[in-house]
Amino acid sequence: MEFRIGQEMPLIKKLEILTDAAKYDVSCTSSGSRRSGDGTGIGNTVKAGICHSFSADGRCISLLKILLTNECIYDCKYCVNRCSNDVARASFTPEEVCRLTIEFYRRNYIEGLFLSSGIWQDPTFTMGMIYRTVLKLRKVYRFRGYIHVKAIPGADPEVVRLTGFLVDRMSVNLELPTAEGLSRLAPNKHRKTILTPMRQIQNGIVSSREEVALYRHAPSFVPAGQSTQMIIGATPEHDYQILSVAESLYRKFDLKRVFYSAFVRVNEDRELPALPGGPPLLREHRLYQADWLLRFYGFSADELLSEERPDFNLLLDPKADWAIRHLEQFPVEVNRASYERLLRVPGIGVKSARRIIQSRRSCALDFCHLKKMGIVLKRAQYFITCSGKMLYPVRMQEDYLARQLIDSRERLPFEADRVTYRQLSLFDDRRFVMDRQNFVRQAWT
Amino acid sequence: MEETILNCQDSAEGILTAVYRAYEWKLPRDRVSIRTGAVDLCLFASCRDVETRPDLAKKVSDTIKRRFGRQVWEDLSFAMAACDERKGTAVLRTIDLGLSGRIRGRLTQGLGEEWIRIVFELGRRVRNEYHRQQEFLRFRQAQEGYLFALTEPKEDVTAFLMPHFSDRLPMENFVIVDSLRGIAGVHPAGRPWVLLRLNEEEKGRMAGAAGHTSQEEAEAAELFRCFCRTVSIRERENPGLQRQHLPLRFRGTMTEFDPPG
């Protein structure tokens, strides 16, 4: 028989435990769904999403990100909630989740609810609890704000389907980029059980879109699309593998987003890598930058990385890195280049490229116009011409451009890499440093 | 020829009335500037006051919508809410450019023209402030049960915030107060919202409301503070990044940054 101590705990304590347990989930966006209020309930959604606050780690707080329970029957090695860990356990009732969501929402603290859960008894039971909670929030509390829930791998497809009609976004965590990594660190999870609900949600979204096109008031299934997340740095995959997995997920599963989560070592386990420098945040940042290039800039994973060059250059953002390796394609003439070519210029984003295309219809643009439009000339100036002229005479040389493009605001690991692109200094000479240390040592003795 | 300065009220209606008068009085548009607020006297300029007339402003707004479309009207409306002296003149010159037919495509996208670029800059500034107020505005529950939010926006965005929040919270009584300009948007539950200019007494009353919140409010605020504290990952802490996304100027009115106790 099982005994539980402290089952009746105050709401604030439960919130603390279940927020703490949910904080490693990264997909906290509230975008992709537009729904206006109905005049009697509470809430609406905005297509672009709204972040309501930013926590001390600089990540946005958009949704009330909690677990329904941190009880779990699985024993994933990287997870703080694994069954072999001795941590405080708690569970919310559906009523408590609804009350918290509504009270936070009406004060404009949050944009909606992000509900995940540990595996409670079995996957179908857990998914059922999530469904009951969301159903209550939608039907009893008339909540029309954003809801994101996790689809639990292995749960009955019917429960997943019913939940899909109530929420804006669903996600199934891929957890680790390769099946080998998954079997090593999450022995209870299998690639197949993860991909099955993903495919089910994808098919549901497609058929729902067709129904909505035919019957305007047909209920829409997961209107904000599905997402997933991968842990970066827990297993030895290269960036190329990770990005290729992301690319195939976008293509084959029509995912809205793939999130990358720098591995934080919360458990002591010999299978987990030691990270003396902390979580690989810069690597995560580069992957996000590359992810944007895949989704909005028309790049493919093979263009950015290859088997010979499987990891990103940590010193440069992937677009600038690609540009300096393809100098034969530059400079680009701003007044004539196509939208696709403009998008490949470092410092020109989707909005800027659109603005250039629209405003050059009435007059020839110069650098002054570009600056006022919001183009980042600091980076773009090396790769563009306006009416055939560059801003300054520039040496189109890889090392020179790399030095100019390195962003000193990023926390760059200059010491970790032999390539620095910096001007050689006397102190870079290893022999000089050795001599100096010897000199200091001798002076002390 | 000397320049003419039209001095009008600092509101969309005031600016649009001045635009109407500039055409009605047949003033050469490239020698006219519209000022809202205090006018600096110039030696070679004549100054004329324009009294706000809603009917004339409506005529101008109807013309803008008819000739250039709703999107351009929206862009100009955002620009007119900016806290910037150039806005009146920029709107006038942009309309003039549009009527001249020199700009192809959508009027406000002809960023090669300086005045259109100014309208774009001002509009972007107001849109950004509007978006940030949507994010960082915090309601508190008064003892009487209604919700109130005290804000200090850089631009005059209360009129844009009201449709957003009244769609979101249709069954709530709430007030959004712009403490800097003395403007309040009031939304009675289930009814349309109104915009008010507050007198001194009302301003004082609204400022004092912050000290009279309900017990329920204190509990909700404590829960949210606990949530914000816990959701941050210690190994990733980065106050610089937090400040970049959430500048310090907003934190004075945000519940999660209230001093403890």
A58–B256: do the CB atoms touch at under 8 Å?
no
Please tell me the distance from the alpha carbon of residue B125 to that of residue B122, in angstroms, as a whole number. Answer: 5
Number of C-beta neighbours around residue B128 at 10 A = 14
Per-residue model confidence (pLDDT) at position A418: 47
Find, in chain B, the residue whose alpha carbon is nearest to that of A354.
B109
Same domain, B142 and B249: yes
Contact A219, A193 (CB under 8 A): no
In angstroms, the Cα distances linking B114 to A29, A359, B82, B118, B120 are: 37, 12, 17, 6, 10
Mean pLDDT, rounded, for A62-75: 94
Yes or no, beta carbons of A24 and B233 under 8 Å apart: yes
Note whether A80 and A191 are same-domain residues.
Answer: yes
The DSSP code sequence of A41-102 is SB--B-TT----EE-TTS-EE-EEEEESB---S---TT-TT-TTS-----B--HHHHHHHHH
Res B224 pLDDT > 90: yes
Q: pLDDT tens, B109-127?
A: 888 889 999 999 999 999 9
DSSP codes, A161-217: HHHHTT-SEEE---BSSSHHHHHHH-TT--HHHHHHHHHHHHHHHHHHHHHHHHSTT
Give yes or no for A61 touching B (CB within 8 A): yes
* pLDDT tens per residue, range B17-37: 999 999 999 998 888 999 987
- What pLDDT shows up at residue A416? 47
Name the average pLDDT for chain A: 88
Residues B101 and B38 in one domain: yes
Task: Name the strand (E) or helix (H) holding A227.
Answer: strand A226-232
Which helix (H) or strand (E) segment holds residue B59: the answer is helix B54-68
Indicate if B15 and B118 belong to the same structural domain: yes
Q: How confident is the model at residue A392, as a pLDDT?
A: 85
A156 and A30 within one domain? yes
Q: Is B256 on the interface with A (CB under 8 A)?
A: yes
CB contact under 8 A, B228 and A12: no
With tokens 């997933």, the residue in question is: A228
In terms of domains, do B148 and B93 share one? Answer: no
Chain A nearest-CA distance from B69, in A, is 16
Answer yes or no: do B226 and B243 share one domain.
yes
pLDDT, residue A263, reads 93
Count of all residues that appear for chain A in the document = 445
CA distance B247 to chain A (A): 10
Nearest partner of A145 among A298, A30, A297, A21, judged by Cα: A30
Structure tokens at B114: 């300086």
Of A19, A107, A281, the CB nearest to B227: A19
Interface test with chain B among A24, A54, A60, A371, by most B beta carbons within 10 Å: A54
Domain housing B49: 3-129
> Which residue in A261, A343, A245 sits closest to A301, CA to CA?
A245
Give pLDDT, residue A7.
57
Tell me: pLDDT of A22 over 80. Answer: yes
Give burial (CB, 10 Å; 0-12/13-18/19+) of A156: middle
For residue B184, what are the β-bridge partners?
A: B177, B196
Question: pLDDT above 90 covers what percent of chain B?
Answer: 72
Does residue A38 sit in the same domain as residue A172? yes
| Chain B residue with the nearest C-alpha to that of A21 | B231
Residue B47 pairs in a beta bridge with: B5
For tokens 């393809």, the residue is: A326
Nearest to A56 among B120, B136, B237 (CB): B237
Residue B112 at interface with chain A, using a CB cutoff of 8 Å: yes
pLDDT at position B109: 86
User: In whole angstroms, what is the distance from residue B81 CA to residue B156 CA?
Assistant: 5
In a domain, A433, yes or no: no
User: Domain ends where: B129, B161, B188?
Assistant: B129
User: Residues A83, A218: one domain?
Assistant: yes
pLDDT tens by residue, B214-223: 889 999 999 9
Could you tell me if residue A440 is inside a domain? no
Question: How many angstroms separate the most distant Cα atoms in chain B?
Answer: 67
Of the three residues B96, B129, B162, the one that is the final residue of a domain is B129
Burial A183-192 (b: 16+ CB within 10 A, else e): eebbebbebe
- pLDDT value of residue A271: 85
User: Which residue of chain B has the CA closest to A411?
Assistant: B238
| Residues of chain A neighbouring B171 (CB-CB closer than 8 A) | 40-42
Residue B151: which H helix or E strand, with range?
A: strand B147-151
Q: Which two tokens stand for residue A93?
A: 């009732």
Residues from chain A that touch B110, judged by Cβ atoms under 8 A, are: 358-359, 361-363
- Residue holding tokens 């020179």? A400
Euclidean distance between CA atoms A194 and A199, whole angstroms? 9
- The answer to whether residue A292 is domain-embedded is no
Task: Tell me if A61 and B231 make a contact (CB, 8 A cut-off).
Answer: yes
Q: Does residue A331 lie in a domain region?
A: yes
CA dist list (Å): A167 to A100, A115, A161, A224, A306: 17, 10, 10, 9, 38
Q: Are residues A57 and B238, on separate chains, in Cβ contact within 8 Å?
A: yes
Tens digits of per-residue pLDDT, B183-194?
999 999 999 999
Q: What is the pLDDT of residues A71-103, one digit of tens each?
A: 999 999 899 999 999 999 999 999 999 999 999
Are B93 and B191 contained in the same domain?
Answer: no
What residue has token string 């007059």? A363
Of A373, A379, A385, the residue nearest A346 (C-alpha): A379
**pLDDT tens digit sequence for A219-267:** 899 999 999 999 999 998 999 999 999 999 999 999 999 999 999 998 8
**Claim to verify: residue B143 and residue B243 sit in the same structural domain:** yes
C-alpha R_g of chain A: 25
Mean of the pLDDT values across residues B49-62?
95
* pLDDT score of B175 more than 80: yes
Cβ contacts of B131 on chain A, cutoff 8 Å: 50
Half-sphere exposure of A293 (CA within 13 A, CB side): 26
Residue A383 lies in a domain: yes
Q: Which residues of A touch B109 (CB under 8 A)?
A: 355, 358-359
3-state helix/strand/coil string of B161-216: HHHHHHHHCCCCCEEEEECCCCEEEEECCCCCCEEEECCHHHHHHHHHHCCCECHH
Q: How many Cβ pairs closer than 8 A exist between chain A and B?
A: 167
Q: Answer whether residue A252 is part of any domain.
A: no
- For residue B191, give the chain A residue with the closest CA: A39
A4 pLDDT more than 60: no
In a domain, residue A277? The reply is no
pLDDT at A435: 52
Distance of alpha carbon A55 from the chain centroid: 16
- Say whether B223 and A12 touch across the interface (CB within 8 A): yes
Q: How far apart are the first and last CA of chain B?
A: 65
Say yes or no: B187 and B240 in one domain: yes
Q: Quick one: B151 and B231 in the same domain?
A: yes
For residue B232, the chain A residues in CB contact (below 8 A) are 23, 55-57, 59
Number of compact structural domains in chain A? 2
Q: Which residues contact B13 (CB under 8 A, 6 or more apart)?
A: B52, B53, B54, B57
Instruction: Tell me whether B24 touches chain A (CB under 8 Å).
Output: no
> Is A336 found in the same domain as A214?
no
The tally of domains found in chain B comes to: 2
Find out whether A155 and A176 touch, Cβ atoms under 8 Å: no
- A324: tokens are 């300096």
From chain A residues 99-138, the ones with a CB under 8 A of any chain B CB are 100, 103-104, 106-109
Amino acid at the residue A291: D
Cα distance between residue A25 and residue A117, in whole Å: 11
Percent of chain A surpassing pLDDT 90: 67
B226–A369 C-beta distance less than 8 A: no
- Domain end marker among A199, A226, A253: A226
A181 and A69, same structural domain? yes
Of the residues A226, A245, A279, which one is the last residue of a structural domain? A226
Contact indicator for A227, A291 with CB cutoff of 8 Å = no
Predicted pLDDT at A187? 87
Question: What is the complex's ipTM, to 2 decimals?
Answer: 0.92
Taking the Cβ of residue A303 and every Cβ of chain B, the question of whether any pair is shorter than 8 Å is answered with no
Length of chain B: 261
Same domain, A213 and A355: no
Rounded to the nearest integer, the mean pLDDT of chain B is 91
Q: Are residues B113 and B210 in the same domain?
A: no
What is the Cα–Cα distance from A322 to A305, expressed in whole angstroms?
Answer: 9
Query: For residue range A269-309, what is the model confidence (pLDDT) as tens digits?
Result: 888 888 888 899 999 999 999 999 999 999 999 999 999 99
Q: Which residues from chain A sit within 8 angstroms of residue B239, using beta carbons?
A: 56, 58
CA dihedral sign, ordered B21, B23, B25, B31? positive
Q: CA-to-CA distance for A283 and A177, rounded, in angstroms? A: 15
How many whole angstroms separate alpha carbon B189 and alpha carbon B186?
10
A52 in contact with chain B, both atoms CB, cutoff 8 A: yes
Instruction: Dump pLDDT digits (tens) for A108-165.
Output: 999 999 999 999 889 999 999 999 999 999 999 999 999 999 999 999 999 999 999 9
A226, A251, A280: which is the final residue of a domain?
A226
Please list, in sequence order, all residues whose beta carbon lies within 8 angstroms of the beta carbon of residue B225, skipping any fewer than 6 positions away: B255, B256, B258
Quote the pLDDT of residue A433.
47
Report the distance separating Cα A147 and Cα A167, nearest Å: 5
Q: Given an 8 Å threshold on Cβ–Cβ distance, is A369 in contact with B111?
A: yes
Residue whose tokens read 């650098």: A367
Say whether both A344 and A216 belong to one domain: no
Chain A: closest CA distance from residue B64 (Å): 20
**B72 part of contact set with chain A, CB < 8 Å:** no
Does A36 sit within 8 Å of B138, measured CB to CB? Answer: no
Of B129, B50, B124, B33, which is closest to residue B85 (Cα–Cα)? B33
- In this structure, are A197 and A325 located in the same domain? no
- Range of weakest confidence among A109-123, A179-193, B171-185: A179-193
Taking the CA of residue A49 and the nearest CA in chain B, the distance in Å comes to 10
Question: Checking DSSP bridges between strand B147-151 and strand B140-141, what pairing results, if any?
Answer: antiparallel
Judge whether A361 is closer than 8 Å to chain B, CB to CB: yes
Residue type at A138? R
pLDDT, position B39: 67
**Preceding amide of B192 cis, omega within 30:** no
CB pair distance less than 8 Å for A53 and B112 = no
Residue A249 domain-assigned? no
Q: Do B141 and A107 touch (CB under 8 A)?
A: yes
> In terms of pLDDT, which residue wins out, A439 or A68?
A68
Q: Are A164 and A204 in contact (CB under 8 A)?
A: yes
Q: Which of A155, A106, A99 is nearest to A131 (CA)?
A: A155
| pLDDT on residue A1 | 38
* Contact residues for A268 (Cβ-Cβ < 8 A; gap 6+): none
Nearest partner of B172 among B153, B147, B192, judged by Cα: B147
Nearest to B172 among A39, A106, A373 (CB): A106
Decide: B225 and B205 in contact? Cβ < 8 Å: no
Distance set, CA A122 to CA A72, A119, A125, A152 (Å):
9, 6, 5, 10
Q: Determine, for residues A50 and B135 on separate chains, whether the beta-carbon distance falls below 8 Å.
A: yes
Note down the domain range covering A335: 318-428
Indicate the pLDDT class of residue A409, thresholds 50, 70 and 90. low
Nearest to A26 by CA among A304, A292, A221, A285: A285
**CATH classification at residue A26:** 3.20.20
